[in-house]
Amino acid sequence: MFGRKRKPSDFDAEVEAHLALEAERLKEQGQSDDEARMAARRAFGNVTQTRERFYESGRWIWWDHLWQDVRFGVRMLRKNPGFTMAAVLTLALGIGANTAIFSLGNVFLFRPLPVKEADRLTVVAVKYRADDDPGQLSYLDYQDFRKQADVFTNMTFYDLNLAGLGYRGHADRVIMAFVPSNFFTMLGLRPALGRLIAPNEGDEPKSGPVVVLGHSYWLSRFNGDPGVIGTSVTLDGQMVTVIGVVPEQFTGPYNIVELDAYAPVGMVASAREYASFFTDRRDTELRVLATLKPGVTARQAETALNVIAGRLAKAYPQTNQGETARVIPERLARPEPAVESSIPLVTTIFLVMVSLVLLVACFNVANLLLARAAARQREIAVRAAMGATRARLIRQMLTESMLLAMAGALGGALIGSWVISGLEKLRPLGDFALRLAFTFDWRVFSYVSGVALAAGIVAGLAPALRVSRTNLNNTLREGGRGLLGDTGRHWLRNGLVIAQVAGSVIVLVAAGLFTRSLTNAESIDLGYDPHHVLNVNLDPKLQGYDQPRAEAFFRQLLSRAKALPGVESASLAFSVPLGYYSDGTSVYVEGQPLLQGQRAPGAGINCVTPDYFSSLRMKILEGRAFTDADTSTSAPVAIVNQTMAEHLWPKQDALGRRFSLGGSEGPFKSSSQGARRQWVTVVGVVRNARLQGLLDTPGNFFYVPQTQSYKSTHVLQLRTSVAPQSLIVPVESLVRDLDPNLPVYDVMTMDRAVAGANGYFLFKVGASFAASLGALGLLLAMVGVYGVVSYGVSQRKHEIGIRMALGAERGSVLALVIRQALVLVGAGVVVGALAALGVSRLLVSLLVGVPSYDPLTFVCVSALMLAVAVAACYIPARRAARVDPMVALRYE
């Protein structure tokens, strides 16, 4: 339709042609030139009116009016910079909060991976016990699923790994994935440089000595040098050749961290100290991705896989007993597939909170617009008198609020991107950058535009309707002083204030509940003392150390670290409490054979040096700690936690009991395979500690001496008598002395470490987000109350003057104004508290040790709101009390 627009000039030409033709015809009939022209015009009728009708029927007028409105609006806004700034800033804060939350939701829930057929991409995960979260697959299971399932067009996997990438003698710790050769082809990716892994390349163990670099890593480590293709680098000490770089938009299949490198799965065998990856169904390392066949649903695929899982469970009861499969659309499995992800709930709650804050902001702007409309009453009356229709006036006013909203949206997008980049700077995963990638894609864009549109209408509609209903006779006669004091306007303004206060109260209650949860979470007894501990991670494997060399290295490191001034004790461990990696295993108890169909219980495991328990101040309840006498040649020993002791040996003394990691048959004959294959004797019971999650009740966990279970990855933990940060430099130089090329990473105090993703991170982020939103809501409500009260005072100057002339005290005027404001705010608090009671029930699953109706929170929030309201109306109230009756009366 827009294509068929006809220009007014074209129409004018047609009318001219008509008049000329008609005049010519009349001349042919013998009329004179002038007569003919006159007659033609007469026959035509009113030319101007015809033109106007053409104009009004077209779309031109619509655009013209819009353009007029926009130009006029911009002029008005520029004439009142103070008002404009206040309104735009208010809206920008509201829209910014919305943008930030929506972008986070976008990363976790909406944005598809930039790969082929992303809409049909699913995550395949399995679990062995009913109440487990679905997790990774073993290589053999993956092969069986891949061969037998006919519900997928293709299936691939990735195995996330930390590795040392050495170049010119120096190793970098990178996060990388071992992938099969179909990984890149299935995802439909093309290299940014060089080539990706070729078909069948490196699918066999110990083959495929190549590596593909992540795009960001290529830029940062190799300065984006195209000459890197063909270069030799080392991966955990193994020589490999760089063959290519992945495209820039592909940051890897793991949503929140960008991968640095990809290597063929065949390299797993050479990179790891054990090679059970390809042969042991207990070695579950694979994160499996599969593309559904068109028309097949995830649920159908799941049913098909479960048939296969059932077959596997029968064929390999030792390892696959109870196995069930889950097929989850990729977008719902971020960052990890979980039985019940809280991400949609958290996203919804925060979206509700930011919407409320935006609503409060809109009401503020509405109030500002109303107040300004009072000043513009005369202008509007004149426009109406000149023939502007009501619709036209409303449009004019809405255009202005839309302009404000659009400016607010621009500012909001900026604020949103700041918030996101601020979040990315937090490091909940050790040194790894959290990748939230604020991209202004079409989803964010439509959301922000939609929000801005809504904000413009919400903020502008009520004032526009109100103003356009002005009785212009009265207004003009009143000489423009306006009749805004009429009662209708009062309830509108008052209603806005009540709504603002109520909205802020809801947000504040949520913020209060989250803050209380954080406090409660922080007072949880961790079972160890995280204060005054410094963590330094190192992994000699990154430089290609073998076991004897690494063990020698660790011995030296430990003895030198203990000698550092300020160090009380030093120990090594494999994993850090609440860190982002840990180890687990199945345990088989001596004398407790498994029943048919029963799975061996699982337990977490950490290997530590003798001083570990004193470094972390974990209390040994029974038995002994490890000593230097526990060596690779002495009898294997373990220290178990309370849960494990009670669980495996209920109502018995766990000390002296034995268990094995190798199978229920007991130890294998050959003991050369290490601790896994032997009976392990319990020599101590240690207090339960929160190691894997803050809120989960601690599960089975045991510790073995580092000397009896070799791992190359270790964290050096120092208990210090001085501030732990002060030891960072000495420890790093100590490591450099031992090996200048060995990278140390995740160097941080234990206090910071427990604030990571599995620790307090979500509580802290959630509480600080909620608190910021609450503060924002409070601030906006305060401004709203201030605005309305001070406007009311300015309108009632006359009345106040009379009261004072009749003998009212200053104090009583002050009290009058404050009392009236408090009635409004009180109503808002009541409405808000009631609404919050309902809304906060949504939060229950996210709260720690505090009920959703927590009276303390509700009382504090209400009191805070009232106190802030009193503060907000004190200034205008004082102004009212200072009214000089003579001036006020003379003014009339």
Q: Where along the sequence are the contacts to another protein (CB under 8 A)?
A: 4, 11, 13-15, 17-18, 20-22, 24-25, 43-47, 49-50, 53-54, 57, 387
Residue 36 vs 509, nearer CB to another protein: 36
CB of 45 to another protein, least distance (A): 4
Residue 46 vs 598, nearer CB to another protein: 46
* Type and span of the H or E element at 292: strand 284-292
Residue 47 vs 70, nearer CB to another protein: 47
What are the helix and strand counts (H, E) for the chain? 27, 23
CB of 19 to another protein, least distance (A): 8
CB of 105 to another protein, least distance (A): 44
Q: How many alpha carbons lie under 13 Å from residue 381 in its C-beta half-sphere?
A: 20
CB of 72 to another protein, least distance (A): 23
How many CB atoms are closer than 10 A to CB 751?
Answer: 17
CA distance 271 to 265: 10
CA distance 721 to 113: 48
Is 117 exposed, middle or buried, given 0-12, 13-18 or 19+ CB atoms closer than 10 A?
middle
Residue 64 vs 737, nearer CB to another protein: 64
Residue 44 vs 67, nearer CB to another protein: 44
CB of 48 to another protein, least distance (A): 10
CA distance 675 to 583: 15
CB of 468 to another protein, least distance (A): 18
CB of 395 to another protein, least distance (A): 18
* Residues ≥6 apart with Cβ < 8 Å to 189: 115, 116, 196, 246, 247, 250
CB of 409 to another protein, least distance (A): 35
Residue 20 vs 563, nearer CB to another protein: 20
Phi, psi of 822 (to 5 degrees): -65, -30
CB of 101 to another protein, least distance (A): 46
DSSP 824-883: HHHHHHHHHHHHHHHHGGGGGGG-SSS-TT-HHHHHHHHHHHHHHHHHHHHHHHHHHHT-
C-alpha angle with apex 459: 455 to 463, nearest 5 degrees?
A: 155
**203, 240, 273, 280 from 206: Cα distances, Å:** 9, 12, 13, 16
Residue 57 vs 697, nearer CB to another protein: 57
* Structure tokens given for 604: 């977490």
CB of 394 to another protein, least distance (A): 19
Nearest to 604 by CA among 683, 546, 690: 690
Name the DSSP class of 503: H
Residue 47 vs 816, nearer CB to another protein: 47
Residue 50 vs 80, nearer CB to another protein: 50
CA distance 61 to 613: 81
**155, 252, 489 from 184: Cα distances, Å:** 11, 10, 65
CB of 28 to another protein, least distance (A): 9
* Residues ≥6 apart with Cβ < 8 Å to 135: 125, 126, 127, 284, 337
Residue 50 vs 185, nearer CB to another protein: 50
* Structure tokens given for 107: 């990363």
DSSP 155-191: EEEEEEEEEEEEETTEEEEEEEEEE-TTHHHHTT---
Q: Mutual orientation of helices 810-839 and 761-795 as an angle, nearest 10°?
A: 140
* Structure tokens given for 156: 């691939």
Phi, psi of 326 (to 5 degrees): -125, 140
CB of 25 to another protein, least distance (A): 7
Question: 459, 91 in Cβ contact below 8 A?
Answer: yes
CB of 22 to another protein, least distance (A): 5
Residue 24 vs 628, nearer CB to another protein: 24
DSSP H helical ranges for 376-471: 377-385, 390-425, 442-468
Residue 46 vs 303, nearer CB to another protein: 46
Residue 18 vs 376, nearer CB to another protein: 18
Residue 21 vs 887, nearer CB to another protein: 21
Nearest to 881 by CA among 822, 795, 793: 793
CB of 14 to another protein, least distance (A): 5
Coil, strand or helix at 243? strand
